[in-house]
Structure 1
Amino acid sequence: MKRVLFISGHPDDHMTSAGTLNKLRKKGYALFEIVLTGGSGGYVKPEEKDKIVEIRDKEFAAASALLGTTKTWSLGFDEHELRMNKDNVEAVTAVVREVDPEIIIIPNRDDYHETHLETNRIATKAIRTAMKHRKLKLGTPLQPLAVLEWEFSVPKQPDVVVDISDEWTFKEKLLACYSSQ
Protein backbone atom coordinates (compact mmCIF):
# COMPACT_ATOMS: atom_id res chain seq x y z
CA MET A 1 0.00 0.00 0.00
CA LYS A 2 1.30 3.46 -0.92
CA ARG A 3 1.40 5.92 1.97
CA VAL A 4 1.52 9.71 2.37
CA LEU A 5 2.31 11.38 5.69
CA PHE A 6 1.22 14.95 6.41
CA ILE A 7 3.05 16.64 9.29
CA SER A 8 1.37 19.73 10.70
CA GLY A 9 1.57 22.16 13.56
CA HIS A 10 -2.19 22.68 13.97
CA PRO A 11 -5.26 20.44 13.64
CA ASP A 12 -6.56 22.33 10.57
CA ASP A 13 -3.28 22.69 8.66
CA HIS A 14 -4.18 19.83 6.32
CA MET A 15 -6.58 22.31 4.69
CA THR A 16 -3.51 23.72 2.91
CA SER A 17 -3.12 20.44 1.01
CA ALA A 18 -6.60 18.92 1.25
CA GLY A 19 -7.10 18.85 -2.52
CA THR A 20 -3.77 17.12 -3.08
CA LEU A 21 -4.34 14.70 -0.20
CA ASN A 22 -7.77 13.75 -1.54
CA LYS A 23 -6.35 13.20 -5.04
CA LEU A 24 -3.65 10.96 -3.59
CA ARG A 25 -6.26 9.01 -1.57
CA LYS A 26 -8.27 8.46 -4.76
CA LYS A 27 -5.10 7.12 -6.41
CA GLY A 28 -4.76 4.50 -3.70
CA TYR A 29 -2.57 6.21 -1.13
CA ALA A 30 -3.32 5.68 2.53
CA LEU A 31 -3.26 9.01 4.38
CA PHE A 32 -1.55 9.52 7.73
CA GLU A 33 -1.11 12.69 9.76
CA ILE A 34 0.94 13.90 12.70
CA VAL A 35 -0.29 17.07 14.44
CA LEU A 36 2.29 18.55 16.78
CA THR A 37 0.05 20.88 18.83
CA GLY A 38 -3.59 21.16 19.81
CA GLY A 39 -3.81 24.66 18.37
CA SER A 40 -4.38 26.39 21.71
CA GLY A 41 -3.81 29.82 20.17
CA GLY A 42 -6.50 29.37 17.53
CA TYR A 43 -9.55 30.71 19.29
CA VAL A 44 -11.66 33.47 17.74
CA LYS A 45 -14.18 33.94 20.54
CA PRO A 46 -12.69 34.77 23.97
CA GLU A 47 -15.23 32.48 25.64
CA GLU A 48 -13.72 29.51 23.72
CA LYS A 49 -10.15 30.10 24.94
CA ASP A 50 -10.22 27.46 27.68
CA LYS A 51 -11.86 24.79 25.53
CA ILE A 52 -10.40 25.51 22.08
CA VAL A 53 -8.06 22.48 22.08
CA GLU A 54 -11.01 20.17 22.79
CA ILE A 55 -13.11 21.91 20.12
CA ARG A 56 -10.32 21.71 17.55
CA ASP A 57 -9.68 18.06 18.39
CA LYS A 58 -13.32 17.22 17.61
CA GLU A 59 -13.19 19.25 14.39
CA PHE A 60 -9.96 17.49 13.40
CA ALA A 61 -11.52 14.06 14.03
CA ALA A 62 -14.50 14.92 11.81
CA ALA A 63 -12.27 16.34 9.07
CA SER A 64 -9.91 13.34 9.22
CA ALA A 65 -12.87 10.97 8.85
CA LEU A 66 -14.13 12.95 5.84
CA LEU A 67 -10.65 12.96 4.33
CA GLY A 68 -10.37 9.21 4.88
CA THR A 69 -7.22 9.44 6.98
CA THR A 70 -6.03 5.98 8.00
CA LYS A 71 -4.40 7.07 11.26
CA THR A 72 -3.56 10.30 13.06
CA TRP A 73 -1.19 11.16 15.87
CA SER A 74 -1.89 14.23 18.01
CA LEU A 75 1.35 14.78 19.90
CA GLY A 76 -0.04 17.50 22.16
CA PHE A 77 3.02 19.76 22.28
CA ASP A 78 2.37 23.27 23.62
CA GLU A 79 1.94 25.63 20.66
CA HIS A 80 3.41 28.57 22.57
CA GLU A 81 6.49 26.61 23.66
CA LEU A 82 7.08 24.54 20.51
CA ARG A 83 10.81 24.30 19.82
CA MET A 84 12.96 21.71 18.14
CA ASN A 85 14.47 19.46 20.78
CA LYS A 86 15.48 15.83 21.15
CA ASP A 87 12.12 14.65 22.53
CA ASN A 88 10.05 16.35 19.80
CA VAL A 89 12.32 15.10 17.02
CA GLU A 90 12.34 11.55 18.37
CA ALA A 91 8.54 11.49 18.71
CA VAL A 92 8.13 12.52 15.07
CA THR A 93 10.96 10.23 13.89
CA ALA A 94 9.25 7.21 15.48
CA VAL A 95 5.98 7.95 13.65
CA VAL A 96 7.76 8.62 10.34
CA ARG A 97 9.46 5.24 10.61
CA GLU A 98 6.23 3.52 11.65
CA VAL A 99 4.34 4.89 8.64
CA ASP A 100 7.25 4.43 6.17
CA PRO A 101 5.66 6.84 3.66
CA GLU A 102 6.52 7.31 0.01
CA ILE A 103 5.50 10.98 0.25
CA ILE A 104 5.86 13.32 3.22
CA ILE A 105 4.27 16.78 3.22
CA ILE A 106 5.49 19.39 5.73
CA PRO A 107 5.04 23.15 6.30
CA ASN A 108 7.03 25.56 4.20
CA ARG A 109 10.38 26.58 5.68
CA ASP A 110 9.61 30.24 4.85
CA ASP A 111 6.14 30.39 6.43
CA TYR A 112 5.45 33.43 8.59
CA HIS A 113 3.74 31.48 11.40
CA GLU A 114 6.10 30.48 14.21
CA THR A 115 4.38 27.12 14.81
CA HIS A 116 4.66 26.25 11.11
CA LEU A 117 8.35 27.24 11.10
CA GLU A 118 9.13 25.10 14.14
CA THR A 119 7.09 22.23 12.73
CA ASN A 120 9.16 22.44 9.55
CA ARG A 121 12.39 22.37 11.57
CA ILE A 122 11.24 19.43 13.72
CA ALA A 123 9.89 17.51 10.71
CA THR A 124 13.00 18.11 8.62
CA LYS A 125 15.29 16.90 11.41
CA ALA A 126 13.01 13.92 12.12
CA ILE A 127 12.92 12.90 8.45
CA ARG A 128 16.71 13.14 8.17
CA THR A 129 17.06 11.10 11.35
CA ALA A 130 14.53 8.54 10.10
CA MET A 131 16.59 8.03 6.94
CA LYS A 132 19.85 7.31 8.79
CA HIS A 133 20.99 4.04 10.31
CA ARG A 134 20.94 5.38 13.85
CA LYS A 135 18.39 5.72 16.62
CA LEU A 136 17.24 2.22 15.66
CA LYS A 137 15.12 2.03 18.83
CA LEU A 138 12.78 4.38 16.92
CA GLY A 139 12.26 1.92 14.06
CA THR A 140 13.77 0.87 10.75
CA PRO A 141 15.44 3.52 8.55
CA LEU A 142 13.51 4.51 5.44
CA GLN A 143 13.86 6.38 2.16
CA PRO A 144 10.81 8.44 1.12
CA LEU A 145 10.40 9.16 -2.58
CA ALA A 146 9.50 12.80 -1.96
CA VAL A 147 9.38 15.37 0.82
CA LEU A 148 7.17 18.29 -0.20
CA GLU A 149 6.53 21.62 1.52
CA TRP A 150 3.07 23.15 1.35
CA GLU A 151 2.75 26.83 0.59
CA PHE A 152 0.33 28.84 2.65
CA SER A 153 1.20 32.46 3.19
CA VAL A 154 4.51 33.04 1.47
CA PRO A 155 4.34 33.55 -2.29
CA LYS A 156 7.12 31.49 -3.87
CA GLN A 157 7.94 30.04 -7.23
CA PRO A 158 6.67 26.47 -6.78
CA ASP A 159 8.56 23.35 -7.78
CA VAL A 160 5.35 21.31 -7.95
CA VAL A 161 1.85 22.51 -8.81
CA VAL A 162 -1.14 20.21 -8.33
CA ASP A 163 -4.38 21.03 -10.12
CA ILE A 164 -7.10 20.58 -7.51
CA SER A 165 -9.97 22.02 -9.57
CA ASP A 166 -11.82 18.71 -9.29
CA GLU A 167 -11.33 18.72 -5.50
CA TRP A 168 -12.72 22.18 -4.75
CA THR A 169 -16.18 21.01 -3.63
CA PHE A 170 -14.56 18.42 -1.38
CA LYS A 171 -12.24 21.05 0.08
CA GLU A 172 -15.25 23.27 0.89
CA LYS A 173 -16.92 20.35 2.72
CA LEU A 174 -13.75 19.75 4.68
CA LEU A 175 -13.47 23.44 5.56
CA ALA A 176 -16.99 23.30 7.02
CA CYS A 177 -15.64 20.92 9.69
CA TYR A 178 -13.66 23.82 11.16
CA SER A 179 -16.40 26.16 12.35
CA SER A 180 -14.25 27.47 15.22
CA GLN A 181 -11.73 28.83 12.78
Structure 2
Amino acid sequence: MTDKNNLLETLTGDSSRRSVLKTGALTTAGLTLTGVGSAAAQDDDVVDGGSDKALMFADEFNPNSRFVITSPVIRWNPNVQEVRDADWSEYNTRMIRYLNTGQRAQFFMAEDAEVPDYDDQAGYVVDAEGDTQQGNPQPEVFSMEQEWAPFGASRLVTVNFSPVGEDEEDSLLEDEDWWLDGDGNGDGGNTTTSGTPQ
Protein backbone atom coordinates (compact mmCIF):
# COMPACT_ATOMS: atom_id res chain seq x y z
CA MET A 1 0.00 0.00 0.00
CA THR A 2 2.92 2.32 0.71
CA ASP A 3 4.16 2.05 -2.88
CA LYS A 4 0.69 3.03 -4.15
CA ASN A 5 0.62 6.00 -1.79
CA ASN A 6 4.07 7.11 -2.96
CA LEU A 7 2.99 6.79 -6.59
CA LEU A 8 -0.19 8.77 -5.90
CA GLU A 9 1.82 11.46 -4.09
CA THR A 10 4.25 11.64 -6.99
CA LEU A 11 1.49 11.94 -9.60
CA THR A 12 -0.52 14.50 -7.65
CA GLY A 13 2.48 16.46 -6.42
CA ASP A 14 1.31 16.00 -2.82
CA SER A 15 4.44 14.63 -1.22
CA SER A 16 5.86 15.07 2.22
CA ARG A 17 9.49 15.85 2.98
CA ARG A 18 9.95 12.24 4.10
CA SER A 19 8.71 10.77 0.80
CA VAL A 20 10.87 13.22 -1.18
CA LEU A 21 13.94 12.16 0.81
CA LYS A 22 13.04 8.48 0.38
CA THR A 23 12.59 8.93 -3.38
CA GLY A 24 15.91 10.78 -3.58
CA ALA A 25 17.68 8.02 -1.66
CA LEU A 26 16.21 5.34 -3.94
CA THR A 27 17.25 7.30 -7.02
CA THR A 28 20.77 7.67 -5.68
CA ALA A 29 20.95 3.95 -4.88
CA GLY A 30 19.66 3.13 -8.36
CA LEU A 31 22.29 5.31 -10.00
CA THR A 32 25.00 3.70 -7.89
CA LEU A 33 23.89 0.19 -8.81
CA THR A 34 23.63 0.88 -12.54
CA GLY A 35 26.32 3.22 -12.52
CA VAL A 36 29.09 4.12 -13.66
CA GLY A 37 31.80 5.89 -11.85
CA SER A 38 32.90 9.46 -12.00
CA ALA A 39 32.78 9.68 -15.80
CA ALA A 40 29.10 8.81 -15.93
CA ALA A 41 28.40 11.38 -13.27
CA GLN A 42 30.24 13.90 -15.41
CA ASP A 43 28.21 12.84 -18.45
CA ASP A 44 25.00 13.61 -16.58
CA ASP A 45 26.16 17.23 -16.36
CA VAL A 46 26.30 17.43 -20.15
CA VAL A 47 22.92 16.46 -21.50
CA ASP A 48 21.81 16.98 -25.06
CA GLY A 49 19.34 14.74 -26.86
CA GLY A 50 20.79 12.93 -29.83
CA SER A 51 24.39 13.96 -29.36
CA ASP A 52 27.43 11.81 -28.82
CA LYS A 53 29.96 12.23 -26.02
CA ALA A 54 33.68 12.86 -26.00
CA LEU A 55 36.51 13.96 -23.73
CA MET A 56 38.84 16.79 -24.72
CA PHE A 57 41.61 18.79 -23.14
CA ALA A 58 40.00 21.98 -21.84
CA ASP A 59 42.35 24.27 -23.75
CA GLU A 60 41.38 22.60 -27.06
CA PHE A 61 37.60 22.88 -26.56
CA ASN A 62 35.89 25.46 -28.79
CA PRO A 63 32.17 25.68 -27.97
CA ASN A 64 29.66 26.10 -30.82
CA SER A 65 32.36 25.34 -33.39
CA ARG A 66 32.19 23.06 -36.44
CA PHE A 67 34.79 20.39 -37.08
CA VAL A 68 35.71 17.31 -39.10
CA ILE A 69 37.42 14.13 -37.87
CA THR A 70 40.79 13.87 -39.58
CA SER A 71 42.24 10.59 -38.37
CA PRO A 72 41.45 6.94 -37.95
CA VAL A 73 41.54 5.58 -34.40
CA ILE A 74 44.95 6.43 -32.94
CA ARG A 75 46.64 4.00 -30.59
CA TRP A 76 47.40 6.59 -27.95
CA ASN A 77 45.48 7.30 -24.76
CA PRO A 78 45.92 10.14 -22.31
CA ASN A 79 47.87 9.13 -19.22
CA VAL A 80 45.23 10.50 -16.86
CA GLN A 81 44.52 8.51 -13.69
CA GLU A 82 40.83 9.49 -13.66
CA VAL A 83 40.37 8.12 -17.18
CA ARG A 84 42.09 4.85 -16.33
CA ASP A 85 40.07 4.42 -13.13
CA ALA A 86 36.66 5.44 -14.51
CA ASP A 87 34.17 3.56 -16.61
CA TRP A 88 34.91 6.05 -19.39
CA SER A 89 37.56 3.67 -20.66
CA GLU A 90 35.72 2.69 -23.83
CA TYR A 91 36.59 5.54 -26.14
CA ASN A 92 38.55 6.06 -29.34
CA THR A 93 41.30 8.63 -29.70
CA ARG A 94 40.96 10.68 -32.90
CA MET A 95 42.19 14.01 -34.25
CA ILE A 96 39.78 16.72 -35.32
CA ARG A 97 40.17 19.88 -37.39
CA TYR A 98 38.10 22.94 -36.55
CA LEU A 99 36.63 24.65 -39.59
CA ASN A 100 37.54 28.33 -40.18
CA THR A 101 40.66 28.15 -37.98
CA GLY A 102 42.30 24.92 -39.13
CA GLN A 103 43.22 24.24 -35.48
CA ARG A 104 43.73 20.56 -34.71
CA ALA A 105 42.76 18.94 -31.43
CA GLN A 106 42.83 15.58 -29.73
CA PHE A 107 39.39 14.07 -29.36
CA PHE A 108 38.55 11.08 -27.18
CA MET A 109 35.10 10.08 -28.39
CA ALA A 110 32.91 7.43 -26.87
CA GLU A 111 33.40 4.10 -28.60
CA ASP A 112 29.68 3.81 -29.31
CA ALA A 113 29.46 7.25 -30.95
CA GLU A 114 27.74 7.09 -34.34
CA VAL A 115 30.36 8.35 -36.76
CA PRO A 116 30.67 7.51 -40.49
CA ASP A 117 33.70 5.67 -41.84
CA TYR A 118 37.18 7.14 -42.09
CA ASP A 119 38.47 7.27 -45.68
CA ASP A 120 42.21 6.45 -45.81
CA GLN A 121 42.73 8.08 -49.20
CA ALA A 122 40.84 11.26 -48.36
CA GLY A 123 42.28 11.54 -44.86
CA TYR A 124 39.05 12.27 -42.99
CA VAL A 125 35.68 10.84 -41.94
CA VAL A 126 33.48 11.09 -45.02
CA ASP A 127 29.92 12.34 -45.36
CA ALA A 128 27.34 9.71 -44.41
CA GLU A 129 25.21 10.66 -47.45
CA GLY A 130 28.11 10.00 -49.84
CA ASP A 131 28.23 13.58 -51.19
CA THR A 132 31.25 14.55 -53.29
CA GLN A 133 32.75 17.73 -54.71
CA GLN A 134 35.22 17.80 -57.59
CA GLY A 135 35.52 14.03 -57.30
CA ASN A 136 36.49 14.16 -53.62
CA PRO A 137 34.25 12.64 -50.95
CA GLN A 138 32.81 15.38 -48.78
CA PRO A 139 33.84 15.38 -45.10
CA GLU A 140 31.20 14.82 -42.44
CA VAL A 141 30.90 18.07 -40.47
CA PHE A 142 30.10 17.94 -36.77
CA SER A 143 28.87 20.58 -34.36
CA MET A 144 30.60 21.00 -31.01
CA GLU A 145 27.90 21.81 -28.49
CA GLN A 146 28.27 24.65 -26.02
CA GLU A 147 27.80 22.56 -22.88
CA TRP A 148 30.78 21.01 -21.13
CA ALA A 149 31.66 19.64 -17.72
CA PRO A 150 35.03 19.26 -16.00
CA PHE A 151 36.27 15.67 -15.80
CA GLY A 152 37.31 15.45 -12.18
CA ALA A 153 40.52 17.30 -11.36
CA SER A 154 42.16 16.60 -14.74
CA ARG A 155 42.59 19.03 -17.63
CA LEU A 156 39.88 17.10 -19.49
CA VAL A 157 36.28 18.11 -20.04
CA THR A 158 33.29 16.11 -21.28
CA VAL A 159 31.59 17.52 -24.38
CA ASN A 160 28.72 16.74 -26.73
CA PHE A 161 28.90 16.68 -30.51
CA SER A 162 26.56 15.81 -33.38
CA PRO A 163 26.54 15.95 -37.19
CA VAL A 164 25.22 19.13 -38.77
CA GLY A 165 22.47 19.05 -41.40
CA GLU A 166 23.34 18.56 -45.08
CA ASP A 167 22.52 22.17 -46.06
CA GLU A 168 24.70 23.60 -43.29
CA GLU A 169 27.49 21.16 -44.18
CA ASP A 170 27.43 22.22 -47.86
CA SER A 171 27.47 25.89 -46.87
CA LEU A 172 30.38 25.47 -44.44
CA LEU A 173 32.49 23.49 -46.90
CA GLU A 174 32.11 26.17 -49.58
CA ASP A 175 34.62 28.23 -47.58
CA GLU A 176 37.00 25.31 -46.93
CA ASP A 177 39.32 24.05 -49.66
CA TRP A 178 41.91 22.09 -47.67
CA TRP A 179 40.16 18.85 -48.57
CA LEU A 180 39.92 19.73 -52.31
CA ASP A 181 43.58 19.39 -53.25
CA GLY A 182 42.89 17.61 -56.53
CA ASP A 183 44.54 14.27 -55.71
CA GLY A 184 41.98 12.96 -53.23
CA ASN A 185 44.42 13.25 -50.34
CA GLY A 186 43.24 16.25 -48.34
CA ASP A 187 45.65 17.36 -45.67
CA GLY A 188 43.13 16.00 -43.21
CA GLY A 189 45.23 12.84 -43.36
CA ASN A 190 47.96 14.53 -41.35
CA THR A 191 47.24 13.25 -37.85
CA THR A 192 49.94 15.14 -36.00
CA THR A 193 49.66 18.37 -34.08
CA SER A 194 52.41 20.77 -33.27
CA GLY A 195 54.59 18.75 -30.95
CA THR A 196 53.65 15.41 -29.47
CA PRO A 197 50.34 14.33 -27.95
CA GLN A 198 49.67 16.00 -24.63
Q: In which range does the TM-score fall when normalised by the shorter chain?
A: under 0.3
Q: For the pair shown, which has the larger CA radius of gyration, 1 or 2?
A: 2
In terms of fraction of residues, the more strand-rich structure is: 2
TM-score normalised over the length of structure 2: 0.20
TM-score normalised over the length of structure 1: 0.21
In terms of fraction of residues, the more helix-rich structure is: 1
Higher relative contact order (CA 8 A, sep 6+): 1
